[in-house]
Structure 1
Amino acid sequence: MHVRLRSRWDNPYLYAAEDGRDVSLSTDRASLNVVWRAHGLVRDGNIYALFHGAAYGRYLSVAAEKNVDDRGNEILVVGFVQRAYADPEQLDVLWTVFDQQDGTGEFLLIHRVHGVWRNPDGTNTRWTMEVVPPRENPPELPPAPPVIPLQQPLAAPMGGGQIRRAALPPPEFQRTIQYVRANHQGDYNPDELQWRTLEFYGLSVFHLRSDLARQLGEANALNITLCVRAGSQGRLTPLVIDLPADNQEMQIVVFSTGSQVSVSLLMKGVQ
């Protein structure tokens, strides 16, 4: 189930920021970054909710940092973040949804480690959940940014040839892509140690798809569909917007476009 999480403090939505780490509040209801996929998990007899972003597949979590207030006292500052889900015993992605049971449909979000989420004034944050309908048609990727020819290829495509790369965004965005090809039934080796790697420059998902198509010997990049997996325990998320503006390694599972699994994943996505 895909949802938007809306704070009743001043009515913005929980937003997975483009840096791939932060989570903020936004009024941009139309953005894919305010959509989260919710699923349940039972651990030690307790029922938890997990939320992973429809944009980048990373999980809603909390980071705590020590700081000093105006009086020189040490305080603990907590904030929402996006994280990979890499450990089956991981606690920082677990939430309890506590219904207020007052007829409003509002609830509290209680983190497994840091407790109930609070407003700036210290009161408990009350949330509402909007269910987002599935797509009616598969999405199109963002258009490719302008490209320039390069003297040296940025990746070694299968069969030779030169890869062209976008002049924008800035070249400091470089990351390792771990990838694996799924068969037509959607099965793939879950052990990322057995996956192949690609050094990728920029943020364009259009270019990433083209690069991976070359690596896999696909003549037409439209023949493949990309899903991101944020950690070994993470659920697959269709990658249909440009990459987060960071240098974090990403895990990509490549499906054949039109296969039953790829169509199912895309159509379970959101408008």
Structure 2
Amino acid sequence: MDQQLQQQEMAVFQGVDFVRLRSGRLYAHAAEDGRSVCLDPRRESHNAVWAVTPRFCPTTATYCVLLRGAYGRYLGAPDATARPCSSPCRAAEQRDFDRPEILAILWRTVPTSRQGTFLLKDASERYLRANPRCLCLLSCRPGVSVSTCRGLGKAIQWTVETVPRGGRPDNPIARDSLFARVCPPLSRLCVRWFSEREIRYVDTDGTGAFSEDNWLSTRYTGRTMTNLKRHLVNLLPPDLIAQYTLCVRAGRYGQPTPLAINLPRSRERLDIMLFQYAVSAVDLFIYPDVNAVAGAEAPARDEPVPDE
């Protein structure tokens, strides 16, 4: 494909830091389980916002973008099979960036005849598809998938809403579970059983750099980001008392993502990087204004923290 035409197709993402993906009245959300992608009507939510990272794919020689969700993972799907027709529709996922190149998390836009709407196609020639209705007998949330079939009409047509930058958000409110309030004697044991997870963490130096050999591990119970920060800071040497920004990194090649919400419900391991407020790298972390009006113009972007 001609490079000039590719760049025109990707113009919707040029100079943009954050977007929402809307299908009808529903938005593609990074689901709270930390892995699936669902459709949800709430737009004033960090789960509805995807950070944009431009990228050139040498395998396909195309300009693409990575779309990174609130938990640091990337919008994608299972890797394409050698026989795509045997599985034309696969559920979309929040994926770790754990290999140098993953075609299933690279997206490019294809304009449609409907003004303001686009097709989102991954590097394996699959289209992002909205599934607003569930056809199975069990109740489930509307979801998002990828499909090799283009003839799906509005199901694969997305409105890309630009989200401008905002200030550093307040820490999310910590709430005890209903069970913890009703049954306090048993709650600690049950919460530990159902929500304990491994946290791998690393403290960055004064420039924001770190070594892959310096990761440490701890166990953490619950989902509250504020308590996690307190837990990790208490594990650092006492002479390192400072204010920290907690970032989650999804895979060795993932970009550090500031935690603006509480942790996902799953008990999967999370990799957390601690950045002191004083280090210059913190100034490069940017946040979306989730309350901004749809389609607001984004300011000029700075260079983000580079992928590790």
The answer to whether TM tops 0.5 is: yes
User: Residue 250 of structure 1 aligns with which residue?
Assistant: 270
Distance 1:212 1:108, change over 3 A: same
The answer on 1:270 being equivalent to 2:288 is yes
Q: Distance in 2 between matches of 1:19 and 1:114?
A: 27
Q: Whose strand fraction is larger, Structure 1's or Structure 2's? A: 1
- Tell me which amino acid in the other structure corresponds to 2:157: R
Contact 2:111 2:118 in 1 (8 A): yes
Q: Distance in 2 between matches of 1:169 and 1:246?
A: 15
User: Residue 158 of structure 1 aligns with which residue?
Assistant: none
- 1:74-93 map, 5 Å: 77-93=89-105
The answer on 1:205 being equivalent to 2:225 is yes
User: Residue 255 of structure 2 aligns with which residue?
Assistant: 235
Q: Distance in 2 between matches of 1:246 and 1:214?
A: 24
Q: Distance in 1 between matches of 2:93 and 2:234?
A: 34
User: Residue 162 of structure 1 aligns with which residue?
Assistant: none
Distance 1:215 1:12, change over 3 A: same
Q: SS state of the match for residue 14, structure 1?
A: strand
The answer on 1:23 being equivalent to 2:37 is yes
Q: Distance in 1 between matches of 2:190 and 2:226?
A: 13
Q: Distance in 1 between matches of 2:199 and 2:158?
A: 36
Distance 1:32 1:231, change over 3 A: same
User: Residue 104 of structure 1 aligns with which residue?
Assistant: 115
- Tell me which amino acid in the other structure corresponds to 1:255: F
The answer on 1:36 being equivalent to 2:29 is no
Q: 1:183 aligns with which of 197, 202, 205?
A: 205
The answer on 1:130 being equivalent to 2:142 is no
**Can you give the 5+ residue segments of structure 2 that lack an aligned partner in the other structure?**
1-16, 132-150, 178-186, 290-308
**Can you give the 5+ residue segments of structure 1 that lack an aligned partner in the other structure?**
67-73, 148-165
Q: Once the 2 structures are TM-superposed, how far is the Cα of residue 122 of structure 1 from its aligned partner?
A: 2.9
Instruction: Give the aligned CA root-mean-square deviation in angstroms.
Output: 2.8
Q: SS state of the match for residue 234, structure 1?
A: coil
Distance 1:187 1:75, change over 3 A: closer
- Tell me which amino acid in the other structure corresponds to 2:75: L
Aligned residues: 237
User: Could you list the per-position Cα deviations for residues 46-89 of structure 1 after superposition, in whole angstroms to 9, with x for gaps in the alignment?
Assistant: 21221011x211100114899xxxxxxx8654111111111002
The answer on 1:117 being equivalent to 2:128 is yes
Q: SS state of the match for residue 184, structure 1?
A: coil
Q: SS state of the match for residue 234, structure 2?
A: helix
User: Residue 152 of structure 1 aligns with which residue?
Assistant: none
- Tell me which amino acid in the other structure corresponds to 1:18: E
- Tell me which amino acid in the other structure corresponds to 1:181: D
TM-score (norm 2): 0.69
Q: 2:64 aligns with which of 48, 60, 65?
A: 48
Q: Once the 2 structures are TM-superposed, how far is the Cα of residue 223 of structure 1 from its aligned partner?
A: 1.3
Distance 1:253 1:119, change over 3 A: closer
Q: Once the 2 structures are TM-superposed, how far is the Cα of residue 221 of structure 1 from its aligned partner?
A: 7.6
Q: Distance in 2 between matches of 1:179 and 1:144?
A: 21
Q: Distance in 1 between matches of 2:62 and 2:240?
A: 47
TM-score (norm 1): 0.78
Q: Once the 2 structures are TM-superposed, how far is the Cα of residue 112 of structure 1 from its aligned partner?
A: 2.2
The answer on 1:170 being equivalent to 2:201 is no
Distance 1:220 1:183, change over 3 A: closer
Identity score, percent: 31
User: Residue 141 of structure 1 aligns with which residue?
Assistant: 171
Contact 2:242 2:276 in 1 (8 A): no
User: Could you list the per-position Cα deviations for residues 171-210 of structure 1 after superposition, in whole angstroms to 9, with x for gaps in the alignment?
Assistant: 3112211111111221122x2x531111111111111101
Q: Whose helix fraction is larger, Structure 1's or Structure 2's? A: 2
Q: SS state of the match for residue 165, structure 2?
A: coil
Contact 2:79 2:104 in 1 (8 A): no
Distance 1:248 1:196, change over 3 A: same
